[in-house]
Amino acid sequence: MNITVSENAGFCPGVKRADLMVRKLIENKTDNQEIYTLGSLIHNRLYTSDLEAKGVKAIAFEDIESLVLSQPQKKHTLVIRTHGITKEQSEALSLLEQKHQNFSVVDMTCPSVKRIHKIAQENTSDNTCFLLFCNKTHPEAIGIMSYATGEKHAISSSDDLAGIDFTNKIPILCSQTTENLELFAKIKKNLKKLCTNAIFFDTICSVTENRQNEAIRIAENSDLMIVIGGKESSNTRKLYELCVQACPKTLWIESEKDLLADFPDHAKCVGITAGASTPDGIITEVIKKVMENNELNFEALLEDTLKTLHTGDTVNGIVCTIDDNEIKLDLGVKVTGVLTKEQITDDPTANLHDMFKVGDEVAVFVIRVDDKAGLATVSKKRVDADNSWIVVKEAYDNGEILEGKVVSANKGGVIVSALNNSIFVPASQTGLARGADFSALVGTTQKLKLVEFDTAKKKALGSIKVVLNAEKQAREDAIWATLEVGNHYTGTVKNLTAYGAFVDIGGVDGMVHNTELSWKKIKHPSQVVSVGQEIEVFIKELDNEKRRISLGYKTQEMDVWYQFVKAHEVNDIVPAKIVSLTPFGAFAEVSEGVDGLIHISAISTQRINAPSDVLNIGDVVDVKIINIDDENRKLSLSIRAITEAAEKAAAAEARAAELAAKKAEEEAEAARLAEERAAMAPYIVGSID
């Protein structure tokens, strides 16, 4: 039988750190002290039972204060497990520490989980939709979700995306640290299809990823695969699900007691892995049980499975001791890591006691290994330098928007300091026009996105322009969501073309065609508007697919025809200027932009051969409105009507004068006769009759 044991099996660094801390608390425990874990420290029944036997009790959150109050004479120490707790619980525990001097909290939340808390808190708002790929009932998931603001959803597959409305939202996708990497990749791929503005954070723990990938490789080459871990452990369940796909004959056990007495004859190759919450002791006992059915030497197998350390490795160590000039690290191997102050910081005044505490996890680079002395010289500065580029690479892979300060400029572009690295932004990606003075950006803080990354050369190219365009697109999307036909805006004319004017209506441009600029025909929009001018416009048409807006500018109040017919009616007499002559009549302008036709028959009371016989272009004459065709916007005018009316009036006036003169004569004659009669009256005796 060939047995392969996963090198990544068992406690992950976070769990190992928590286990080390709890065991130190147990070692230093006084008779007047009680130690608790907030729920099970890790999801392993046997481990939890072992802690309980050593006096460490698992306690529910709601029971903490009552327990502290019931035993005021004792010191109470609460350990927060690696899964972490909710934001509300964290705040409540801080208040409890301030309230009760005999109560203290030791936070052993996994640094990887803490990172997701920070991501959720700093990257979510009312404009985002936070998505967490997780087991929504898992304590880690519940804690993470509490740090997100705005809309948030716990999802378990790509199918869950279909029921979420991302309109006007920026999706933020993270994962529980122990989730399936392959499924997470599928969710990312599908979310990218749904939303072009999604932001991704790869938060599956690298240890989990390595454990899963290694387990799959071992399972693919095994007749029998054994997965060790508690039944309530999420990461162990994921291991089992992955292994059973690669090796149908996969066992999930909690300890060696769950193994059969012997294995099937066909099990010539056996693989063994374990979840992050499985103690080394349980793994060892399982290996022993398997070895009872194998002629291989057990001690040799254990020796083969011991992790070795080599110069150039990067490993995680747990702080064991702290001195003024160095710290000692448990590297999980047979040698102790020595990390000097010079390999930690360039600041000679730095205090290592302030920077570290026992139990902290520190990533270090192995400089030299001395097996005989049992020591390894390691460097944190080297890891920090490499990690800064790892962070840059993660930002590139995740498409993150970075913020940095422009520190210098040259003809080729600018240098931006971001994530403790210098990132070059080419001239074409600065967002400035060609030929612009790039030095104007020096000293300013800019947002940028990485567009190229060379891992080998540790070089990155960034783009300010991409971010500016994305922000502009986001603003336009928000504006487009409010646009409706008929909406009125005060816009600014941005530029003119031969066919119309482009107007900014508050972040998006619309086009006012020449025919919409004026009621009269114009050759160029500059006849009506100028660049920079503010004008009142309204939306006539919207093309959401092509993102085109047709605007209207002219209104009825601006219509000279409307204004003219509103102020005049048929039979009104108005002055008119002759603007053109034709064989059939003359066109006369009665108001700016409003013309009417004087038919040849309506020009003169006398017969004429052509309008030019009596009229010239430029003549100003009085005309009478004889018809208003509002539908076709036409006026019929007449000079003859005025002339005829004048002639009739003159004739009537002459007749009236003639009648008045005749009447005057008659009245004068009557007066004369009356005067004569009066003169003769004394001489008349009787009636003549």
Please give the Cα distance from 206 to 178 (Å, whole number): 9
Looking at residue 478, its amino acid is: A
The structure tokens listed for 374 are 């049992």
DSSP secondary structure code for residue 433 in this structure = P
Judge whether 586 and 547 are in contact, CB under 8 Å. Answer: no
Rounded CA-CA distance 466/429 in Å is 7
Pair of tokens at residue 412: 């080729």
What is each CA distance from 362 to 111, 204, 229, 283, 352, in whole angstroms? 11, 19, 26, 25, 13
DSSP-derived secondary structure for 473-486: HHHHHHHHTT--TT
CA 126 to chain centre: 11
Nearest to 146, CA basis, from 157, 134, 156: 134
Task: Enumerate the H helices of 406-513 as residue ranges.
Answer: 464-480
Q: Is 675 a catalytic residue?
A: no
Decide: 36 and 57 in contact? Cβ < 8 Å: yes
Report the C-alpha gap between 56 and 44 in whole angstroms. 15
- The residue annotated as part of the active site, out of 140, 151, 179, 516, is 140
CA gyration radius, the chain? 48
Helix (H, G, I), strand (E, B) or coil at 85: coil
3-state SS, residue 666: helix
Residue at 437: amino acid letter: D
Alpha-carbon distance of 259 to 245, in angstroms, equals 21
- Hey, how many other C-beta atoms are within 10 angstroms of the C-beta on 322? 18
Strand order in the sheet with 2-5: 2-5, 269-274, 224-228, 250-253
Side-chain half-sphere of 649: how many Cα atoms within 13 Å? Answer: 6
Per the listing, tokens 């302008």 go with: 589
Cα→Cα distances 273→10, 49, 205, Å: 8, 22, 17
Indicate which residues carry an active-site annotation: 140
